[in-house]
Structure 1
Amino acid sequence: MKMLDVIISRGLKLDRITTTDIWATETIRGEYPEMVKFKERADEYIWQKYRIEVEHLCAMRNGEKQTYERLFYHVPKRKSAGGGH
């Protein structure tokens, strides 16, 4: 937050603000509830003070959200024993 104040007060260029969300499953966050609440409060504070919307990103692959659950149970495709010949 302090760095954002410095950027704005010095008139430096700011293209966007992003944060990364971690997901345990499709519907359960992989962050402590306190962190989720902090992010919500920070988003609102930034919007009210600077009128900048914070973008929430997460790991994606082929258009699907990558969750801990999905990656944990992922079975990789193996190459043939002949070294790929």
Structure 2
Amino acid sequence: MWSIYTGVTKSVLSINFEWMRNGGVSVDRLERLAQALSVLPGWANMPELLVAANYAKRPSFKPLALARKDASTVILGALNDLLAVET
């Protein structure tokens, strides 16, 4: 569902929307995840890009987004919401 790549020149966190879509995650949940993450730098237009690609994307957060003070709170909150069981 997500991957962390680290290297000498670049480190990123990648969210695999395509894998989740192919695994049966509803479009509503994917949309909610994309919207929650769109507050981070570089992701403002990501919800629209994901819809246009039918969620067949694996976008990554750049270091600028990950360096934001509340990035971990935003990302973990969005993933917790995605994984929460609906009643």
TM-score, scaled to structure 1: 0.28
Greater percentage in helix: 2
- Structure showing greater radius of gyration is 1
- Give me the TM-score of the superposition, normalised by structure 2: 0.27
